[in-house]
């Protein structure tokens, strides 16, 4: 209670105003600087200021003091305080000059008087910069100065290193030279793209005041913060990839709360999971930027920092469950989260609190277009672990390239929105088959011919989703609005006039009704070919505004006036070569050559002297200049005003445009799947309630497409019949025979069917699937000190712990990274565990022929082998899967195909023969390193020597007969 009383001493003024209470720290009490009192006041002030940063961005200012602050300092519920301007100045000083400035409430030291003195020692402009920089201590601040964005001090050194730009020192401030670097304003986007790829965040500080009327430094303000997870600019975004921001909150009971969104998408996602499930969620979300509570455990923090994205710690008080729930209610404009069954997700609410606050902070405003919520729960999606995504090459090849992959094959979408939707479907298939069944029904309908017309109409469509988000954030460019108008016109033609259609398609068509009023508004306000940026003018349409038309008229009539004035002045002065001209530096002028200056009238005032001419101004021309230049400035100001009015009016269409964008994206993705199914000759899968994977004439879609492109021949199709009675296949056969391709194609067919796509098979019948696990390939992880075998066993352990009777498991040559007996023992144990314990559908490829005896004792397993034909020392791979075990591995034949030297092959054949003899006859241990016995060299006979000299093609009939008799004589003599 004593602490509460002490804190109360330093509340100078508590004044209710519009549902919030402003708390002002008394400057007088701060000046006392007594030990305990000032420490408490300083801490209170620091908290108040930090909270005020959020309050500035909060909708209607309806934020409440956090429970942490209530409990520690006030001891009761009090609305959010706002720091006084006086304290903000002192806090800025402390942030800049205090070594512990980046530690929130790290020390009990009060603000030093020397901080104010040091702050005052800087130039007014640098004081302004420091005040702005204090709000963004961990962010590069691009500070607009004329035609450049400048960075100073530590930011300058960092930017120069990352961007390879010149670092200079210019002038002095506070007794020290100012380190600085800069980039031209018109090149900003290119530099931003480079910084974003490096994981950096940038605060864009613009000049918002009038240079001509400003006393001291022109007013500046950070208008947006560009971070990897909150990108909205199309120049910084990939058409086919979302920029995802994720907030993670570590719960109290071994749980995690997750909240994520794409600022351009307009939908918040929530999930709660156990700590051991976090990795799979992070993989599924694939965030570009991750924020987390600074108070998490060190082990939890290390897991987050291991992610391949920008990771940032945020103050603990930003992760508040009650605050997060209120923010969600306000953001979604609802009274309850019960409609989504999300009212009890406390950890997710805490994450949402930080997520929305951070997103609003970076955009400099609230997010009016974010009106959707989707709640994800563990067990709803088919698990696709990292190894599965990598080994199946879903979106990237094993070399890290975007093509050829499964996604690159099926993505024939016309729009970026469609591609992003399709990728989401591929990577997040649901266990529930209702959604996949709806898509399959729709694809079947579109295959009848509708998809061709729809795809033709979609060509040239703009990215409505991202344009809508930029409208809501007031960041949209004029040409994007023109592109939106053309897309709205196209959307009117997308809804067919004929007959009934599947329910999913009918729902899409209901949202494909573009708002006519929005289209008309855009047509009325924006020119068909506007300037790239509103600051350049030439954006607002003619006849849209009378005042603007009048101002433009003055500029349009400028040339006519100048010609008229030039003619009149030539006649008045008698100077025939007199010219009336304009340039941006000196404005309007009358130019007279040096030889004619004697004829200049008295009312001419010299403006500029050149080598061969003089330039003058007259009262009439000066009056016109003032009017014309003023008209140009006023026209630009008027255009900016009208553009802001347009953005105001467009806000009401944001919800409708968001629904339209989602409808176009879904339609585009479905049409792409329909087109692919026709072009690639795929068939519709069917679903069963009982466990089964029944595939007839299945093909690997990517390999088949590559063979068709390169003329490599037809792909050999294979069947797969797995049920509750035969859950495991032990697959043997030669290297290069196609075992891995067969296994992968089964997994890809299962995945395609689960997402609701046609599949590369004659038929496919699929039971419930909850996960696809793979252990394929050999590689080490040097960075984490894991050998090839250790990595192999780690991946195998993860599968054994995770797989269930509804999982599909691919095991390729497990145990090969250690000795033969160890590897065989482990492979047998893993196969037995998968068969007996997990009972997962398992494709188990191996070169341990001892495992072909496994089905004898385990009746749920069967032998399969890849067929091949051996012709002498050569081998022909048939790539066909047949019942039963393989007879041999043909390893030496494969080595011959690879170009291994003949001496090595001979040595290997000898050793192999000896080993096989040892195994069958029980001989002594074979010396594997002994060279093969030398072949006995015999001298050629006379007949053989004679045969070598004969060229049958060069002999006449008579010579051939003589040669035959000669050979006969030689053979008799021998």
- Rounded distance, CA 247 to CA 291, Å? 5
pLDDT surpassing 50 at residue 111: no
Mean pLDDT across 555-564: 83
Which residues sit in the known binding site?
Answer: 733-740
- pLDDT, residue 872, reads 62
Cβ-contact 679, 409 below 8 angstroms = no
pLDDT surpassing 50 at residue 114: no
Task: Residue 699: give its domain's CATH number.
Answer: 3.40.50.300
121 pLDDT band (50/70/90 cuts)?
A: low
Which of 620 and 1 is assigned the larger pLDDT?
620
Which of 392 and 100 is assigned the larger pLDDT?
392
3 pLDDT band (50/70/90 cuts)?
A: very low
Structural domain includes residue 478: no
Same domain, 328 and 221: no
As beta bridge partners, residue 170 has: 178
- Rounded distance, CA 908 to CA 914, Å? 10
DSSP structural state of residue 651? G
Angle subtended at Cα 879 by Cα 873 and Cα 882, rounded to the nearest 5 degrees:
105
Which of 333-337, 485-489, 961-965 has the lowest average pLDDT?
A: 961-965
- Rounded distance, CA 157 to CA 179, Å? 7
Tell me which H or E stretch contains 373. strand 372-377
Mean pLDDT across 572-588: 89
Phi-psi region at 179: left, alpha or beta (left = phi > 0; alpha = psi -120 to 50): beta
202-207 and 718-723: which strand pairing? unpaired
Mean pLDDT across 815-828: 78
Task: Residue 274: give its domain's CATH number.
Answer: 3.30.420.110
| pTM score | 0.78
pLDDT surpassing 90 at residue 912: no
Cβ-contact 141, 133 below 8 angstroms = yes
Of 348, 378, 408, the residue at which a domain comes to its end is: 378
Same domain, 856 and 748: yes
Structural domain includes residue 666: no
Same domain, 862 and 718: yes
DSSP 14-77: EEEETTEEEEEE-HHHHHH--HHHHHHHHHHHHHHHHHHHHHHHSGGG--B--HHHIIIIISS-
Task: List pLDDT tens digits, range 193-215.
Answer: 899 989 899 999 998 877 767 77
- Rounded distance, CA 414 to CA 490, Å? 13
pLDDT surpassing 50 at residue 94: no
- pLDDT, residue 780, reads 41
- pLDDT, residue 48, reads 52
Preceding peptide of 404 cis, ω within 30°: yes
Same domain, 575 and 629: yes
- pLDDT, residue 916, reads 65
- Rounded distance, CA 921 to CA 918, Å? 5
Strands (E), 101-252: 140-145, 148-152, 168-173, 176-184, 202-207, 220-226, 245-250
Three-state SS at 608: strand
- Rounded distance, CA 232 to CA 363, Å? 9
Cβ-contact 390, 400 below 8 angstroms = no
411 pLDDT band (50/70/90 cuts)?
A: very high
Backbone angles phi, psi at 666, to 5 degrees: -65, -45
Domain residues for 605? 546-644
pLDDT surpassing 70 at residue 57: no
- pLDDT, residue 702, reads 94
pLDDT surpassing 60 at residue 65: no
pLDDT surpassing 70 at residue 72: no
As beta bridge partners, residue 313 has: 292
**Of residues 772, 827, 775, 831, the one with CA closest to residue 804:** 772
- pLDDT, residue 89, reads 39
pLDDT surpassing 70 at residue 852: yes
Same domain, 268 and 206: no
Query: How many C-beta atoms surround the C-beta of residue 739 within 10 A?
Result: 25
Same domain, 558 and 583: yes
120 pLDDT band (50/70/90 cuts)?
A: low
Structural domain includes residue 519: no
Structural domain includes residue 7: no
pLDDT surpassing 80 at residue 145: yes
Mean pLDDT across 61-72: 33
Structural domain includes residue 736: yes
Tokens of 923: 């001989």
Same domain, 763 and 833: yes
Task: List pLDDT tens digits, range 78-93.
Answer: 333 333 344 433 443 3
Which of 80-94, 301-315, 487-501, 842-856 has the lowest average pLDDT?
A: 80-94
Mean pLDDT across 435-448: 94
Cβ-contact 757, 677 below 8 angstroms = yes
Structural domain includes residue 428: no
Structural domain includes residue 444: no
Mean pLDDT across 318-324: 90
Same domain, 214 and 264: no
Give the count of domains, the chain. Answer: 5
Of 644, 671, 701, the residue at which a domain comes to its end is: 644
What length is written for the chain? 974
Give me the helix-helix angle, 416-427 and 654-679, nearest 10°.
Answer: 70
Tokens of 206: 């613009």
Which of 45 and 21 is assigned the larger pLDDT?
45
pLDDT surpassing 70 at residue 25: no
Of 205, 226, 247, the residue at which a domain comes to its end is: 226
Task: List pLDDT tens digits, range 380-410.
Answer: 899 998 889 999 999 989 888 888 999 999 9
Query: How many C-beta atoms surround the C-beta of residue 467 within 10 A?
Result: 21
Query: How many C-beta atoms surround the C-beta of residue 564 within 10 A?
Result: 12
Which of 426 and 307 is assigned the larger pLDDT?
426
Q: Which range in 435-444, 946-955, 958-967 is most confidently predicted, on average pLDDT? A: 435-444
Preceding peptide of 618 cis, ω within 30°: no
Mean pLDDT across 755-764: 96
Same domain, 749 and 631: no
Which residues sit in the known binding site for ATP?
Answer: 733-740
Mean pLDDT across 536-557: 84
Same domain, 619 and 707: no
pLDDT surpassing 80 at residue 334: yes
Question: Residue 594, Cα to own-chain centre: how many angstroms?
Answer: 65
- Rounded distance, CA 844 to CA 841, Å? 10
- Report the mean per-residue pLDDT for the chain: 81
Same domain, 592 and 696: no
Mean pLDDT across 62-69: 33
Task: Residue 591: give its domain's CATH number.
Answer: 1.10.1420.10
pLDDT surpassing 80 at residue 478: yes
- Rounded distance, CA 755 to CA 425, Å? 6
Question: Residue 291, Cα to own-chain centre: how many angstroms?
Answer: 16
- Rounded distance, CA 117 to CA 523, Å? 57
- Rounded distance, CA 168 to CA 179, Å? 6
Task: List pLDDT tens digits, range 695-730.
Answer: 999 999 999 999 988 887 889 899 999 988 889 999
Portion of the chain with pLDDT greater than 70, in percent? 81
Structural domain includes residue 413: no
Q: In what order do the strands lie in the sheet with 605-609?
A: 579-583, 587-593, 613-617, 605-609
**Residue 411, CA distances (Å) to 82, 395, 407, 438, 664 in order:** 51, 11, 6, 19, 15
**Of residues 534, 597, 587, the one with CA closest to residue 558:** 587
Residues near 349 by beta carbon (within 8 Å), at least 6 away in sequence? 257, 270, 321, 322, 324, 325, 328
26 pLDDT band (50/70/90 cuts)?
A: very low
Mean pLDDT across 935-958: 71
Q: Which range in 289-298, 418-427, 628-637 is most confidently predicted, on average pLDDT? A: 418-427
Same domain, 952 and 904: no
Portion of the chain with pLDDT greater than 90, in percent? 40
Largest CA distance in the chain: 136
pLDDT surpassing 70 at residue 30: no
């Amino acid at each position: 209670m004593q602490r509460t009383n002490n804190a109360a001493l330093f509340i100078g003024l508590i004044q209710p105003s519009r549902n919030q209470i402003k708390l002002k720290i008394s400057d007088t009490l701060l000046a006392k600087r007594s030990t305990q009192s000032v420490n408490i006041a300083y801490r209170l002030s620091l908290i108040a200021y930090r909270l005020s940063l959020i309050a500035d961005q909060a909708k209607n200012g309806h934020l409440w003091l956090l429970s942490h602050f209530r409990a520690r300092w006030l001891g009761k519920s009090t609305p959010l305080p706002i720091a006084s301007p006086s304290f903000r100045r002192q806090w800025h000083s402390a942030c800049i000059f205090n070594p512990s400035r980046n530690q929130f409430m790290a020390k009990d030291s009060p603000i030093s008087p020397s901080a104010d003195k040091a702050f005052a020692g800087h130039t007014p402009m640098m004081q302004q910069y420091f005040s702005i920089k204090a709000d963004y201590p961990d962010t590069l601040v691009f500070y607009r100065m004329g035609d450049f964005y400048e960075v100073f001090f530590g930011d300058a050194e960092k930017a120069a290193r990352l961007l390879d730009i010149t670092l200079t020192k210019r002038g002095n401030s506070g007794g020290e030279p100012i380190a600085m670097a800069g980039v031209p304003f018109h090149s900003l986007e290119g530099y931003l793209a480079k910084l974003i790829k490096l994981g950096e965040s940038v605060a864009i500080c613009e000049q918002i005041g009038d240079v001509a009327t400003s006393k001291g430094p022109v007013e500046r303000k950070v208008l947006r913060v560009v971070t990897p997870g909150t990108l909205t600019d199309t120049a910084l975004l990939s058409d086919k990839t979302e920029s995802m921001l994720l907030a993670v909150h570590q719960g109290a009971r071994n749980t995690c709360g997750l909240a994520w969104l794409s600022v351009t998408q307009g939908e918040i996602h929530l999930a709660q999971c156990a700590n051991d499930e976090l990795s799979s969620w992070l993989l599924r979300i694939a965030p570009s930027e991750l924020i987390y509570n600074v108070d998490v455990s060190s082990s939890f923090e290390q897991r987050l920092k291991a992610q391949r994205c920008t990771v940032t710690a945020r103050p603990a008080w930003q992760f508040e469950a009650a605050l997060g729930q209120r923010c969600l209610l306000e953001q979604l404009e609802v009274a309850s989260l019960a409609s989504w069954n999300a009212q009890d997700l406390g950890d997710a609410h805490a994450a949402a609190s930080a997520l929305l606050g951070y997103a609003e902070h970076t955009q400099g405003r609230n997010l009016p277009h974010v009106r959707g919520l989707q709640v994800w729960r563990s067990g709803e999606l088919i698990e696709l672990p990292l190894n599965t995504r990598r080994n199946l090459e879903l979106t990237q090849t094993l070399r890290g390239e975007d093509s050829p992959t499964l996604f690159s094959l099926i993505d024939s979408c016309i729009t970026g929105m469609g591609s992003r939707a399709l990728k989401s479907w591929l990577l997040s298939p649901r266990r529930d088959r209702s959604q996949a069944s709806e898509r399959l029904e729709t694809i079947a309908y579109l295959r009848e011919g509708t998809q061709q017309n729809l795809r033709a109409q979609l060509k040239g469509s703009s990215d409505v989703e991202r344009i809508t988000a930029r409208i809501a954030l007031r960041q949209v460019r004029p040409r994007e609005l023109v592109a939106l108008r053309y897309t709205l016109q196209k959307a009117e033609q997308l809804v067919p006039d004929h007959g009934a259609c599947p329910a999913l398609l009918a729902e899409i068509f209901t949202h494909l009704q573009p708002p006519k009023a929005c289209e008309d508004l855009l047509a009325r306000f924006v020119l068909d070919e506007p300037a790239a940026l509103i600051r350049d003018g030439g954006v607002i349409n003619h006849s849209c505004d009378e005042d603007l038309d009048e101002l433009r008229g003055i500029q349009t009539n400028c040339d006519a006036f100048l010609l008229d004035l030039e003619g009149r002045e030539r006649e008045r002065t008698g100077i025939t070569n007199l010219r009336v001209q304009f340039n941006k530096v000196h404005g309007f002028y009358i130019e007279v050559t040096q030889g004619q200056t004697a004829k200049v009238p008295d009312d001419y005032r010299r403006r500029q002297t050149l080598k061969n001419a003089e330039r003058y101004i007259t009262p009439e021309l000066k009056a016109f200049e003032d009017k014309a230049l003023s008209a140009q400035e006023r026209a630009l100001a008027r255009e900016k005003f009208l553009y802001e009015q347009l953005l105001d009016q467009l806000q009401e269409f944001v919800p409708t445009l968001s629904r339209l964008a989602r409808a176009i994206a879904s339609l585009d993705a479905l049409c792409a799947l329909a087109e692919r199914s026709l072009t690639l000759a795929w068939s519709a899968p069917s679903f069963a309630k009982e466990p089964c994977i029944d595939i007839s004439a299945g093909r690997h879609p990517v390999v088949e497409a590559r063979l068709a492109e390169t003329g490599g021949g037809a792909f050999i199709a294979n069947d797969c019949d797995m049920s509750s009675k035969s859950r495991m296949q032990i697959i043997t056969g030669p290297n290069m025979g196609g075992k891995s391709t067969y296994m992968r194609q089964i997994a890809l067919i299962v995945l395609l069917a689960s997402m609701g796509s046609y599949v590369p098979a004659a038929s496919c019948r699929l039971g419930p699937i909850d996960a696809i696990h793979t252990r394929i390939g050999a590689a080490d992880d040097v960075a984490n000190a894991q050998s090839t075998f250790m990595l192999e066993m780690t991946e195998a352990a993860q599968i054994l712990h995770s797989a269930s009777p509804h999982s599909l498991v691919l095991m390729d040559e497990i145990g090969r990274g250690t000795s033969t007996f160890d590897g065989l023992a482990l492979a047998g144990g893993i196969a037995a565990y998968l068969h007996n314990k997990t009972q997962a559908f398992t494709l188990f490829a191996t070169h341990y022929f001892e495992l072909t005896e496994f089905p004898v004792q385990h009746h749920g397993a069967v032998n399969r082998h890849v067929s091949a034909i051996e012709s002498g020392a050569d081998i022909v791979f048939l790539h066909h899967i047949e019942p039963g075990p393989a007879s041999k591995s043909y390893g030496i034949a494969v080595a011959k195909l690879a170009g291994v030297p003949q001496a090595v092959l001979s040595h290997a054949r000898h050793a192999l023969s000896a080993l096989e003899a040892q195994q069958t006859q029980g001989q002594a241990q074979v010396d594997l390193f002994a060279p093969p016995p030398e072949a006995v060299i015999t001298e050629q006979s006379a007949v053989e020597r004679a045969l070598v000299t004969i060229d049958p093609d060069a002999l006449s009939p008579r010579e051939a007969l003589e040669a035959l008799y000669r050979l006969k004589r030689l053979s008799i003599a021998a």
